[in-house]
Amino acid sequence: MDITRKQRRRLLTGAGVLVSAAGLVAGVVTFATSAGAVGSVKGMDVSGYQGNVNWQAAYNNGARFAYIKATEGTSYRNPYFTQQYNGSYNVGMIRGSYHFARPNISSGATQADYFVAHGGGWSRDGKTLPGALDIEWNPYSGGTCYGLSQSGMVAWIKAFSDEYHAKTTRWPVIYTATSWWTQCTGNRGDFTSTNPLWVARYASAPGTLPYAWGFYTFWQYADSGTFPGDQDTFNGAYDRLQALANG
């Protein structure tokens, strides 16, 4: 969500196998679907890059949920966050916020606290999704995995997740890509019983999912399209999206 569009398109385009399941586990809604399938909900995610968004137009075009970048590391806040977060809510979308992880500059717990303090909270209003952790390729210096070992990365993600849960009562959604997760965690750790998966892959199907997740909750399938920002789908019917928001 913050590496360049060219980088993401190259990294997220490739062959894979669709993995799906059915049920509701730890707030993770699971239905077999594709970007245009019946039983899925269209949505989008945006950051400061999109500036002020025409939310009414996006809603009129079919978007029913949105994730908004709130923070990055422990020093960056999206300058358009208020317009984007409140604007999506005001037109009737179910919205949530996300944090872009910088594991090489501070602990997972510290960044979770920063996120919650600056737009990453949750309320049981039926219109607010649990916050999301965007953990992916490092767009800065320090290597793809931010200089952490695979076990160190798992520990960092767990610390963020645990602290977010302690502060909000919700487990954060984890946004990632299968190739990054494999390389940087070594498929260690198991977040499937707690954290909904938001998988990124620019193709006609979500492909092979990160280790231990048998299903996905959100799928980011393109970096441009009908809506401003990245294009997403929720893996279930609208009432299941409402259930996720309600906790």
Residue-wise pLDDT for 208-222, tens only, equals 999 999 999 999 999
pLDDT of residue 39: 67
Q: Is 134 noted as a catalytic residue in this protein?
A: yes
* DSSP-assigned letter for residue 196: P
8 Å CB contact between 15 and 207: yes
Better pLDDT: 149 or 36: 149
pLDDT of residue 9: 57
Catalytic residue among 2, 134, 223, 230: 134
Q: Rounded CA gap, 67 and 96, in Å?
A: 5
pLDDT of residue 34: 39
With cut-offs at 50, 70 and 90, classify the pLDDT of residue 130.
Answer: very high
8 Å CB contact between 197 and 28: yes
Topology of domain 5-13+21-246, per CATH? Answer: TIM Barrel (3.20.20)
Residue with token string 């048998």? 214
pTM: 0.88
Average pLDDT, the chain: 89
pLDDT at 32 over 70: no
| Four-residue CA torsion sign, 142, 45, 198, 18 | negative
Tokens of 3: 């590496």
pLDDT at 44 over 80: yes
Look at residue 151 and give its three-state secondary structure: helix
Catalytic residue among 2, 113, 136, 232: 136
Catalytic residue among 2, 45, 223, 232: 45
Q: Is 136 noted as a catalytic residue in this protein?
A: yes
Looking at the chain, list the stretches that DSSP marks H as alpha helix, in order from N- to C-terminal side: 5-12, 55-60, 81-90, 108-117, 150-168, 178-185, 238-246
Tokens of 27: 């707030």
What share of residues in the chain are helix, strand, coil (percent, to 5)?
30, 20, 50
